[in-house]
Amino acid sequence: MERDYPAILHPIIDPLVENPEALIIRVLPGETKRDVTILIVAEDDDTARLIGRHGLIANALREVIGIAGKADDSNQRIHLKFESFNEEEKQNEEE
């Protein structure tokens, strides 16, 4: 059974950001079946909020979603990756 990680994360993350409508959460395949990468894309300021000082918020989110990955005995390893829209725009301009 595959978990709906965006549905788990949205209620936690949406109140933390200024523009939840612009928030994108995507599940990407990992290197193995056991690995799952969750990409969280938000505006610059919101990405900074989600990471927090010294990565405090990001680490807390990793803890919460890590528990969800182990809850059904699938023992999945969850990796969170944070990006901002402005970074993507800069990359597109450079290409």
Main-chain dihedrals φ then ψ at residue 3, nearest 5 degrees: -75, 150
Angle at 88 between CA 66 and CA 32, to 5 degrees: 35
* CA atoms 38, 43, 46, 48: torsion sign: positive
Whole-model pTM over 0.75: yes
Confidence of residue 94 (pLDDT cuts 50, 70, 90): very low
Confidence of residue 90 (pLDDT cuts 50, 70, 90): very low
What digits encode the pLDDT tens for the residues 46-82? Answer: 999 999 999 999 999 999 998 888 877 777 888 999 9
Domains of the chain plus CATH, in order, are: 5-87 (3.30.300.20)
Going from the C-alpha of 63 to that of each of 10, 27, 49, 77, the distances in angstroms are 15, 17, 17, 11
